[in-house]
Structure 1
């Protein structure tokens, strides 16, 4: 009987083992004894080879027309579509989200590729009047060169694709460092790019320790730009290292996202949005709802509806029918979540539900935690710091003014949501909320691929991803002056 497959790096159009000769087991967070496969523990030498391959492939790739580059993205999208169930299952097995969510994410990756394939036929400059009547002056866009892509485990298809697709369509080549926990899912994604026939060296993937390889990628002289999604601590190191050598960088980091429930809100809709935004994917989204700010006249009614709905949630293996919420993605994340739950108790927050590891049959070997709800105050750690797990804190306020002040009273500013029927409330929220994504009568976690995405304050480097805004990071503007 053959054991779990070993997955390789992808460098210069070839699948190759790491120079270290070492591999790491990828384990199912729903059952830590289940090994999904083995991935490479690469060294800096392997990353250097990937960067050299990307650098050598760049001139020919950038000379292709945008339409020609787009055809490769269309073909990649088709390849993923043919394997959508396989890729989604791998994602669920590697990081725990339900199969339905994983399949939805994979479908989103397909849509992103097709969207950016079309970007190859859209304008990339403007004609500007010159003071010289006999001259032509215009702008055009040129690629950065080699782009390093560093991605997290929570969206192992969507986030790499929404970084790599615009990088490629605008003429850059890529060195991809995925999260080690989801490197098999990443390998299957890269297999689809390879199946589409991308020239050797245009995409390269190296797996291994995030700290060592990520630092080497950011500091590599051949890498002209870095796009990163992950923690604030790591993101700041990435930004500082890139800045020190003049490389362009883009950081998408944490969130502590509020939903405000006004006194006039539809409470059933607000409850549904709170649960969906806060607990799907086990709360492991940078846009996940974590603070629930409710006006006092409806606070008790909202709380009871919320608790009743949460108590019906089935926690379990994401591949099993009926499971609504899967495990934390890994043991470290589970320990972090449990640590914050204990911190909430120690700070004097009132634990309303959850807070434990579930004791249902078959869950003992997984990284499961119950959906958890606290009543607390805004100064508590559970109301200020990103937990990245299924933990909600309820906060009561006496007015919309207090709600907006409280919503802004954190270091993050990624996404925020308001439930109200009052246009005045909505306009004040749009005007005063310090977040890059504000949504009215919709959950905090909705992100559409054709719209700019990014945060304010400590949530990002103030750049934007997705949509046509992506061109701002992945290209530089060149001004051209022509005179006969």
Structure 2
């Protein structure tokens, strides 16, 4: 039986005022309905914001360690339900069990992390220039935060927005992506059970053009955090900043891995395969370009083709790579594969939908490798949100850096090299918010800043770690002459 889900507003589970619902389906078996959610309206969103505004001061006045205790209990509840939520992510988003379980574990860790960070929110003391003066800072919440989250990490990304916002005394309204809203709902079930006061956290499901827009433009919303596509993100940024709100956006990527002539080809192929084909390539940090020195190029192409062809595709409960999340995402990937072929790239692996009984009507695509890709090709410049890798040949390290930087995005980038000088130069010269050495472009630590440059981000505020706290707080300086 599909799970029926309600909105969570002012401490109560409630239906949309319009009474409509929508369904999510299993991308491995689209005939299976996974859950139903509220098809909410702008009125529902406005009600949620009003509840958050009423509750915010009381939550801000709650001692920070007490707020942290609620987050700690939330983490424990999620941990108790980890198996159930893992299964939900696999059925609703298409991740493998290993990927989904890792994501749920990440959400649990985030709530534990910010539960402890809540003890460190006391500001700082400084030496005053004059006598008999105390000079120090205090940290205050921004107010009401509107959080809009994507489908590709349906519990981890909501967690890394919700936890720091609540730890620092803000109230929140969350609009999760409709295509995989179950992870966010699971967080709110845990928050409710953990004893969060009414109105402090609210979730409203439904279309971004109505629910999201109502949250972004509401006069009582003080800050907006958005993760999603660049096209939507720029609209969100413009609307929110027009009203003077604090805004952070994390958008797309066209992430490169540079393979130098000093690298082990086998190691490089392992690193690139993990970054390109993990989570079916549906990550903003996924590797979509391997930029390879000419001396290693042929051997690397052979090795990465072997890695791609060895991946077992199928339902996430039993195979290494699951389906894409929807028919629209699958069609977009297949369209880019056609474009790459038309532009003259050489298809070396994959390139189509796999055949066999286990695939049925699922939204599967083969891990795909293109060689002979030119930096000017669309496949090398535009984000392809699927397991498609472009391999680009370069003559030297300087050309590799130039090609890596010659795109509109700058989120994550890596280099595979045994030359320490090249590694340091890569860190200095790459235009990306995340730089990795001998590691895949995907995978993030939760206690350090995350964000991009250029069109990958608004370049305003970072997420996670102390940076996540910074976005949700305002520092006030106090001069106390006694």
Correspondences of 1:61-460 after superposition (within 5 Å): 61-319=59-317, 321=318, 323-375=319-371, 376-460=373-457
Counterparts of 1:450 and 1:168, CA distance in 2 = 17
Structure 1: runs of 5 or more not aligned: none
Q: Where does residue 44 of structure 1 map in the other structure? A: 42
Which secondary structure does the structure 1 equivalent of 2:140 belong to? strand
Q: Alpha-carbon deviation of 1:151?
A: 0.3
Following the alignment from structure 2 to structure 1, what is the Cα–Cα distance between the partners of residues 166 and 182?
Answer: 22
* Rounded Cα–Cα distance in structure 1 between residues aligned with 2:209 and 2:324: 21
CA distance in 1, matches of 2:343, 2:394: 20
Corresponding residue SS for 1:249: strand
CA distance in 1, matches of 2:376, 2:210: 35
> 1:123 & 1:212 partners in 2: Cα distance?
35
Distance 2:77 2:276 in 1: 32
Taking only aligned residues, the RMSD between alpha carbons, in angstroms, comes to: 1.0
Q: Mind listing any 5+ residue stretches in structure 2 that lack a counterpart?
A: none
The whole-number CA distance in structure 2 between the counterparts of 1:309 and 1:91 is 26
Shift of 1:258: 0.2
8 Å CA contact retained: 2:260, 2:292: yes
Match of residue 478 from structure 2 = 480
Q: TM-score, normalised by structure 2?
A: 0.98
Q: Which residue of 1 aligns with 2:13?
A: 15
Separation of aligned partners in 2, 1:460 and 1:85: 33
Structure 1: how far apart are the matches of 2:349 and 2:209? 36
TM-score by length of 1: 0.98
Q: Contact between 2:64 and 2:121, CA under 8 Å: does it hold in 1?
A: no
| 1:99–1:318 Cα contact (<8 Å) kept | yes
Task: State the Cα distance separating 1:129 from its structure 2 match.
Answer: 3.0
Output the CA distance in 1 between the equivalents of 2:467 and 2:478: 22
Question: Within 1, Cα distance between the matches of 2:361 and 2:37?
Answer: 22
Deviations 1:422-445 (A, max 9, x none): 011101101100101000011000
| Deviation, structure 1 residue 123 | 4.4
Partners of 2:411 and 2:417 lie apart in 1 by 20
Deviation at 1:4, TM superposition (A): 2.0
Please state whether the residue corresponding to 1:227 is helix, strand or coil.
strand
* Distance apart, 1:215 and its partner CA: 1.2
Q: Deviations over 1:380-406 (max 9, x none)?
A: 111001111100000011100100000
Residues 113-160 of structure 1: CA distance to partner in whole angstroms, max 9, x if unpaired?
Answer: 111001111144222333332222211111011101100000011100
Which portions of structure 1, spanning 4 or more consecutive aligned residues, are displaced by more than 4 angstroms?
none
Distance 2:93 2:446 in 1: 22
Structure 2 distance, partners of 1:188, 1:166, is: 17
Contact 1:41 1:207 in 2 (8 A): yes
Equivalent residues of 2:154, 2:182 under 8 A apart: no
Q: Contact 1:65–1:120 at 8 Å: present in 2 too?
A: no
Secondary structure at 1:120's aligned position in 2? helix
Query: What CA distance in whole angstroms lies between the structure 2 residues aligned with 1:5 and 1:271?
Result: 41
- How many pairs align? 480
Write the distance in 2 (CA, Å) between the matches of 1:213 and 1:338: 31
Q: Is the 8 A contact 1:94 1:185 kept in 2?
A: no
**Could you give the per-residue CA deviations for residues 244-293 of structure 1, whole angstroms, max 9, x where no partner exists?**
01010000001000001111112212111111111111100000000000
**8 Å CA contact 2:151, 2:177 repeated in 1:** yes
Deviation, 1:372, is 0.7
> Quick one: distance in 1 between partners of 2:360 and 2:161?
37
Measure the CA separation in 2 of the matches of 1:172 and 1:327.
37
SS at the partner of 2:476? strand
| Contact 1:66–1:119 (8 Å) recurs in 2 | no
What is the deviation of 1:65? 1.1
Return 241-250 or 178-187, whichever deviates more: 178-187
Supply the distance in 1 between the matched residues of 2:35 and 2:152 (Cα, whole angstroms): 18
CA distance in 2, matches of 1:123, 1:90: 35
CA contact 1:253–1:458 (8 Å) conserved in 2: yes
Query: 1:130 and 1:308 mapped to 2: Cα distance?
Result: 65
Please state whether the residue corresponding to 1:78 is helix, strand or coil.
Answer: helix
Other structure's SS at 2:457 match: coil
